Structure 1
Amino acid sequence: MTRFLFFPVAFFSFILSAQQLKSPSEFLGYELGTEFTRHHEVVDYYEYLAKEAPDRVKLMEYGQTNERRPLLLAFVSSSDNMNNLETIRQEHLKDTNGTGETSKAIVWLSYNVHGNESVSTEASMKTIYSLLTSKSTYLENTVVIMDPCINPDGRDRYSNWYNQYKNSPFQVDPNSKEHHEGWWSGRSNHYMFDLNRDWAWLTQVESQQRIKVYNKWLPHVHVDFHEQGVDNPYYFAPAAEPYHEVITDFQRDFQVTLGKNHAKYFDANGWFYFTKEIFDLFYPSYGDTYPTYNGAIGMTYEQGGSGRAGLGVITRIGDTLTLNDRLAHHYTTGLSTIEVSSQNADKLNAEFKKFYKNKNFKYKSYVLNGDKDKIDALKTLLNKHEIEYGTPSNGSVKGFNYKTGANGNMSMSQNSLVVSTNQTKGTLVKVLFEPNAKLSDSLTYDITAWSLPYAYGLDAIASTSLISGTSTDEKSGMSSTGGINANNYAHITDWNSMKDARFLAELLKEGIRVRTSHHPFSINGKSFKRGSLIITKADNQNKDNFIETLQRVSSKYQKEITGSTTGFVDSGKDFGSAYVQMITKPKIALFSGNPTSTLRFGEVWHFFEQQLHYPVTVIDSEYADRVDLKDYQILILPGGRYGNYFNEKQLKKLQDWVKSGGKIIAMGGAIGAIDGEKGFGIKKKESPKDSINKPQPYQGTQREQIKSAITGAIFRTKVDNTHPLAYGYGNEYFSLKLGSDSYKYLKNGNAVYLENNIEPISGFAGSKAQKKVSNSLVFGVEEHGSGQVIYMVDNPLFRGFWENGKLFMANALFMVD
């Protein structure tokens, strides 16, 4: 939903002068910086400004959060500019093809992406008030777009918690309760996702709705306001290395220009700050990098504080940091950013045009082959980013082969997809598709690999030639219900993707009974792989409206159904065989609270409710001991820091439940809580010992430590696709490995694993870490009595964007039995 909020002006009234506008403190009834303002009060103030100064403020509701809070943008500029706002926007976008004639600077300020980094929303209110009053000259040649709160759900979670637990008056002692949020902190959104890592992947509703408006403006400058640890001084641009190689000299230099202007104000006030450290410009899904790869000067500003600071707290050196101090710093850098942008509007426009000129990237086109469902999933993401793609002509393409890691050939057909860098979003295409992003420094703030062909499980060639492609009609689609007939003995369909998993999940919810074949088979001249779904008339003879329901669900998911009048197969196992088993409709429990990671828990929660659309029961650690696991068939333990969390009695309870037929899915850090020392069979691998332990200089400690680290790199793994956990996959899987934790092979059930002498195919992995993860398990299943324990060492649901990993989770739920 996108709508502008207009406020009428009485016929004989006149616009209030700047002096008549109420400041945030006057409007709210308390001094700004002495309380945390709830989101609805923030909205009220912005609506007040839009009503009282409609010639200079326009408010847009661009969507809603999961908890139904409004997402707002405020457009602020001079009266003349606001009267011509749409013309300014259109002329600015023409700069992407070099024909625009506007001289206005476009500055976008994003506040409170992390809910408990809450001071920035307070600063936004002071900033917009100053722009309408004392700093209105900045607006003569500048349009400022302000998002006062990217994450309203998280912000209100924090502010409500703080208002509930704070002392009165507030307590600056950092040991007081008001400085210690619980597990369910306000940092993330409703689904515990970090919205600052979601700009490129667009898994969350906030990101999906925001990007639609962002693409309509593509600002010259974008600032993402944050907070960091209580004891840290303020951070502003220029950023740290590594910078991605596509970042232009002007983008680098203008960060320095802005930083020096900020420093001028901070120096005058005696405020401490630092630059060029920690916060790099590499991973593409941040609020600084994503805008940068779309032509902006993208920046992160970090104020010390966050959820620990409250209204005031004593720092490590004995100073008192107050909310008002934090507010003043963000207010200062925000206005300084607008000031410099206004002074350099012509330069920003000229360089923006240059950014969008065709660039001589090494790879001009990316050609992709693979399962149609996976191609379609990638198209959905590209559409959201307004990235163009097409269908190439039949033939062959030569270039870097993602699967082999070397130059090679691949055939092209009408089912292929080609994405070229010769388009408006060409730089973004290069960043998202390149096989291995170039690192200028291995010390990075986030993952170092994300290439979309690997993430979506597609065969790909990166070509140095420009491959033409014709646009496809996305509205067309095959008829999926042609094979459905009430007289059929069975209805058969494949199992390859998350679309198939959603199809199965809905059938199970509808009460349709479904079988799967644990052997490949052929029938009526058509071949089917392991995991294929078989829906028989006999299994559903007591189901009312069986055929109508199957037709409706098949049509919804565009599933091609093959009908058969017999269960006698041409090859493989007949439909009455023990190898063709009924898929259980499982009741699933998801463990939450300490010791799980909020982010890892959120990824699983979101997977069930927003991707698979299958019910899950969330059981919190506070009362888990009182829950009878006999009511559930599956228990999921998300990653986290478990340590020795489960005591002997709890471990015995889990073991007995599994032996009697239960299924545990242990992910990441949860595996150590139930490993070989705790009663189950999996065993941790230790790091290989150095032959000589040489003393290291103190200054080189960090460089030495990174040899044992993996900072989000992609590894080629081996897959046993005869195992139910790996149905729908080929014999290789490219896994995003986030750390060097490793486990030995299981005696049986090694569905996905790493072999010896492995190196990452993309991204950084230290030399010691590579040795440690060699010959180790990635995904496996241990039989334990009548039940199973499924181990997921790597995280197939990481940040919701590794599309090709999600079917492993669906297999764990429905195929492993």
Structure 2
Amino acid sequence: MRRLGATILCGFSILLSSTRPPIFADAFDFYARGPYRPSVPRPSQLLGYEPGEFHTDFRGMERVIFAIAQAAADRVRVIEYGQSYERRPLRLLLISAPENMNRLDELRARIQKLADPRRLSSPEEAAAIIRTTPVVVWLNYANDGNESAAFEAALQVAYHLAASEEPKTRELLENALILINPAHNPESHERFVTWYNAFAVGAEDRFAYEHNAPWGLSTNNNHYQIDLNRDALASTQIETQALMRAYLQWNPQVFVDHHGQTTTFFFPPPASPVNANLPKAYHEWMEIFGRGNADAFDRHGWAYFARDVFDLFYPGYWDSWPSLNGAIGMTYETDGGGSRGLRWLREDGALVTLRDGIAKHFVASLATVETAVRHRERLLQYFYDFKRTAIEEGARGPMRRFVLLPGNDPGRAAELVATLLRAGIEVQVTQESFSSRAAHDYLSKTAAARSFPAGAFIVDLAQPQMRLAKALLEPEAELDPQFVKRQLEIRERNERRGKNVPKERYEFYDVTAWSLPLAFGVEAYWTEDAPRVRSIPLTLDESGRVIISDERKPVVAGGVSGRATSAYLFSYETNAAARLAFALLHEGYKIAVSTRPLRADGRDFPRGTLVVPIERNPESLHERIAQLARECGVNVYAAASAYPDRGETGIGSPAVIPLRKPKVVVIAGDGVSVTSFGAIWFLFERRFGIPFIPMTLSSLHRANIFEYDVILFPDGSPSIYRATLGDRGLERLKRWVSEGGVLIGIGGAAELFTQKGVELTTARVLGAEEEAPASPGSSAPSPASAQASAERPMRPLPVPGAILRATVDRHHFLTFGYEAEHLPVLVNGARFFTRSRDGANVVTFEGKELHLSGFIWPNNTVELLSGTAYLIHEPTGRGHVILYAQDPNFRLFWHSLTRLFLNSVLFAPSLR
């Protein structure tokens, strides 16, 4: 039997090899540029397979880099710069010639002087540094960790630079400090390769299982499913924060982020638009590096493209963020690997392999270092000039200073300041009041003379980080007029095409608005002047809190005013208050919310104030709430009496309603946007300590949903949600809601609940259905209304991420903590909800003055958005259906919307 089995297996292998093209036909030679030091082991010798035969895991990568570093200690140093959420070490390999390795501290100090020209004694000192200092090149791999060719290429590039004795390579090492980050996002990579290695058979068919990983396993995202290649804007994740610290220590002049998978290889120049804060010289460098890569690829006869698809507008990518720091930041996209696995059959019948993807990244990486060394002095000069002119332009430009006011939520303003400090941007807190002759208000878009109080945060633009600071803080990013013109022309052509004719795609790659003061909800101004004001620099302590540099004192502190005999009260105007409320509930303390403005001890408290009564809580409350208030940064008032000296609402009023700890389900799995789920996960677990149960829809079918208070559907596919739930599941949800459940839908999930046949709300998606014909006997529309209807566009065009002004119903429990009439929100896509007829339209778009920032379509966006709803509440029986037209947790930097989202979890289960 064994012999027969072996014969069959052998025959099957022969058949397989005769019908499937070999993976490495005309394989690229990674070792053509020798000779190599025999003492330095090749990755294949350490791993037991050749590049592209198998996916290397994190431990395999560690084995390779440590062996290389040990064998080539004169050229290589391993630097640990942080740790991922799953506790994987984040490491850099620094590779250079021995003479450079022996004076790294000196060389880094020189670069630091170029990064801040104020530290230089003279232009001559700068010239001397530029003349004698190696260029710093950072090669970043596995940012999107499931784009697996990058990770593998890092090992081959590291080996070549560490081991090659080729004269050309030795010249590179003499003139460059090369930083290799093999695993920017180790969790994304490890998830993918563990699954792929377990199930791959090497099938090239695009429908093979190995090319279609289960939900959540093949994503670009980190442990919390947050996209690190968008996170440089607000640095919400520890991997981003660690990378920024390392980046600012080394200040590279060239930074390349390696990705995949495109039809053919992409390298710069990028597509339009490019962030307007970058100088003209940056575009010249794009041409230089693009041509350097093209020459290398042309020698191999490889296809590639440039100036298409991948723009450089949003400042949160890992090409745009380094560029705004003075580097030549670039994205490279290879064709093999990732979801295409070991091998993939193109539509034209050609085969692309993981090895192909590795080879192209390998060649592009080395070509980039060669270009950088060829232009070493010019690159260092560009870096120095970038920083020098930033200071000069910041001192004389139309924007001189940003002013950020702490307002009612100093913790949120401090988080914005922390975001800036993590990016190396200088921020100060004023010690006295000051005035500006022309301060521009972000919300009203008007300018006027204005006085500012002591305690304001200021960002003066006469600093080396001016361009990055401006990109993050300016109210609106400037779009290239020619790019805008081209999109309007595409629209015109699309509108002339019949419904069966394919439409041209618009060229927006990502959102067009992100102004951090608007997203954080911080009152902000930019001023045309920067008068002298006594101020103190701010910095971050070891825990990431903003502190006053000289005093080591946090800018935000909380605490309790004394020992209460009636109740502890704290306003709900801050995000930190929500954190404190959830912490108290989680620990079993009894808390309540005042649904009306409250009066206690001769003081007024706004609606939404949280009340923690002494009567129904244990003695431990006094000590514990004081400790939690300090930790959360919340000011808690200790009330001595429940008697209101005036007004109708006091501590014991029926309008003060007890809150219960909610049992929350968050839907996960097929149909769910992994990034929407991930943002909720991070928000609940890391920021607010809210326990929740992730659950797939198939599990929801089997669960006793009547045990849960809240079922939250993240953004996702309405069609997949509906198909998976089925009519029976939807009917069950409706019954659960009517008996007291809180059903929350975001984005696509909210759209599902508006659909015909589901109808958990009377709202509808605008343009989803044609207007129904008039019923018999109904009156005909007037000529005027008919003309208005004809002139009004019927369907919204997709908005590429713009910030618009919404109007808040300040009498609804979902807006507890929001007392301003207007609120900036992100509108992304074409999902506009008509108002509910039977429910409450809690946040809406009113009138024509909606635009705050970003691109919107003329004669379409405002006209159709006006009169629609952003947030809808449908009371149903004893329960609630709550719908968000857009994701309020988008990329985790919309701090202004955090409580608008949390209110549906904190208050809805207890309020009827």
TM-score normalised by structure 1 residue count: 0.93
Amino acid at match of 1:578: P
Q: Distance in 2 between matches of 1:772 and 1:706?
A: 8
Q: Distance in 1 between matches of 2:377 and 2:574?
A: 49
Q: Which runs of 5+ in 2 are unaligned?
A: 1-34, 121-125, 485-506, 539-546, 772-785
Superposed counterparts of 1:458-477, under 5 Å: 458-469=522-533, 470-471=535-536, 474=548, 475-476=552-553
Residues 765-790 of structure 1: per-residue CA shift (max 9 Å, x gap): 12323322221111121100001011
Q: Distance in 2 between matches of 1:326 and 1:648?
A: 45
Q: Distance in 1 between matches of 2:50 and 2:206?
A: 23
Bigger shift: residues 367-376 or 115-124:
367-376
CA contact (8 A) 1:410 1:461 kept: no
Cα RMSD (Å): 2.2
Q: Distance in 2 between matches of 1:306 and 1:52?
A: 29
- The equivalent residue for 1:13 is none
Bigger shift: residues 476-485 or 42-51:
476-485
Residues 590-617 of structure 1: per-residue CA shift (max 9 Å, x gap): 0001111111111111110111111111
- Determine if the alignment matches structure 1 residue 28 to structure 2 residue 47: yes
Residue 566 of structure 2, aligned match among 489, 492, 496: 489
- Determine if the alignment matches structure 1 residue 806 to structure 2 residue 898: yes
State percent identity of aligned pairs: 29
- The equivalent residue for 1:130 is 160
Please say which structure displays the higher CA radius of gyration: 2
Displacement of 1:361: 3.4
Distance of aligned partners of 1:788 and 1:125 in 2 relative to their CA distance in 1, 3 Å threshold: same
- Determine if the alignment matches structure 1 residue 740 to structure 2 residue 830: yes
- The equivalent residue for 1:365 is 401
Q: Distance in 2 between matches of 1:199 and 1:812?
A: 29
Superposed counterparts of 1:359-398, under 5 Å: 359=393, 360-369=396-405, 370-371=407-408, 372-392=410-430, 393-397=432-436, 398=438
Amino acid at match of 1:375: A
Q: Distance in 2 between matches of 1:553 and 1:322?
A: 55
- The equivalent residue for 1:642 is 718
- The equivalent residue for 1:163 is 197
Amino acid at match of 2:414: D
Distance of aligned partners of 1:814 and 1:707 in 2 relative to their CA distance in 1, 3 Å threshold: closer
- The equivalent residue for 1:68 is 87
Displacement of 1:249: 2.1
Residues 746-782 of structure 1: per-residue CA shift (max 9 Å, x gap): 2342221101335421001123233222211111211
CA contact (8 A) 1:62 1:71 kept: yes
- The equivalent residue for 2:451 is 411
Residues 391-439 of structure 1: per-residue CA shift (max 9 Å, x gap): 3431433322111022234431123221111112111111011111100
Q: Distance in 2 between matches of 1:691 and 1:118?
A: 56
Displacement of 1:141: 1.1
Bigger shift: residues 138-147 or 97-106:
97-106
Displacement of 1:467: 4.2
Residue 194 of structure 1, aligned match among 227, 231, 252: 227
Q: Which runs of 5+ in 1 are unaligned?
A: 1-15, 695-703
Q: Distance in 1 between matches of 2:147 and 2:630?
A: 45
- 1:34 aligned counterpart, secondary structure: coil
Q: Distance in 1 between matches of 2:420 and 2:815?
A: 27
Q: Distance in 2 between matches of 1:308 and 1:554?
A: 47
Q: Distance in 2 between matches of 1:323 and 1:555?
A: 52
- Determine if the alignment matches structure 1 residue 143 to structure 2 residue 177: yes
Amino acid at match of 1:736: L
Displacement of 1:692: 13
Residue 180 of structure 1, aligned match among 206, 212, 221: 212
Q: Distance in 2 between matches of 1:306 and 1:431?
A: 34
- The equivalent residue for 1:444 is 508
Q: Distance in 2 between matches of 1:630 and 1:738?
A: 34
Superposed counterparts of 1:185-584, under 5 Å: 185-187=217-219, 188-229=221-262, 232-305=263-336, 307-357=338-388, 358=391, 359=393, 360-369=396-405, 370-371=407-408, 372-392=410-430, 393-397=432-436, 398-440=438-480, 441-442=483-484, 443-469=507-533, 470-471=535-536, 474=548, 475-476=552-553, 480-485=558-563, 488-540=565-617, 543-570=618-645, 571-584=647-660
Residues 184-223 of structure 1: per-residue CA shift (max 9 Å, x gap): 1332111111110001211112111111111111210000
- The equivalent residue for 1:683 is 763
Q: Distance in 2 between matches of 1:814 and 1:348?
A: 54
Displacement of 1:17: 7.4
Superposed counterparts of 1:666-681, under 5 Å: 666-677=745-756, 678-681=758-761
Displacement of 1:481: 3.8
CA contact (8 A) 2:51 2:152 kept: yes
Displacement of 1:672: 1.8
Q: Distance in 1 between matches of 2:455 and 2:823?
A: 22
- 1:511 aligned counterpart, secondary structure: coil
TM-score normalised by structure 2 residue count: 0.83
Displacement of 1:723: 1.0
Q: Distance in 1 between matches of 2:808 and 2:887?
A: 16
Distance of aligned partners of 1:684 and 1:468 in 2 relative to their CA distance in 1, 3 Å threshold: farther
Q: Distance in 2 between matches of 1:273 and 1:676?
A: 44
CA contact (8 A) 2:560 2:629 kept: no
Distance of aligned partners of 1:691 and 1:281 in 2 relative to their CA distance in 1, 3 Å threshold: farther
Distance of aligned partners of 1:659 and 1:467 in 2 relative to their CA distance in 1, 3 Å threshold: farther
Q: Distance in 1 between matches of 2:57 and 2:787?
A: 59
Displacement of 1:558: 2.8
CA contact (8 A) 2:46 2:63 kept: no
Q: Distance in 2 between matches of 1:202 and 1:579?
A: 40
Q: Distance in 1 between matches of 2:823 and 2:788?
A: 36
Distance of aligned partners of 1:726 and 1:411 in 2 relative to their CA distance in 1, 3 Å threshold: farther
- 1:714 aligned counterpart, secondary structure: strand
Distance of aligned partners of 1:693 and 1:776 in 2 relative to their CA distance in 1, 3 Å threshold: closer
- 2:635 aligned counterpart, secondary structure: coil
CA contact (8 A) 2:599 2:650 kept: no
Bigger shift: residues 682-691 or 261-270:
682-691
CA contact (8 A) 1:655 1:679 kept: no
Q: Distance in 1 between matches of 2:223 and 2:84?
A: 8
CA contact (8 A) 2:319 2:329 kept: yes
Q: Distance in 2 between matches of 1:562 and 1:306?
A: 58
Amino acid at match of 1:510: E
- Determine if the alignment matches structure 1 residue 598 to structure 2 residue 674: yes
Aligned residues: 786
Q: Distance in 2 between matches of 1:468 and 1:651?
A: 63
- The equivalent residue for 1:85 is 104
Displacement of 1:795: 1.4
Q: Distance in 2 between matches of 1:175 and 1:375?
A: 49
Residues 476-504 of structure 1: per-residue CA shift (max 9 Å, x gap): 35774442315x11111111122111111
Displacement of 1:384: 1.4
Residue 613 of structure 1, aligned match among 689, 695, 705: 689
Displacement of 1:691: 8.8
- 1:465 aligned counterpart, secondary structure: coil
Displacement of 1:50: 1.2
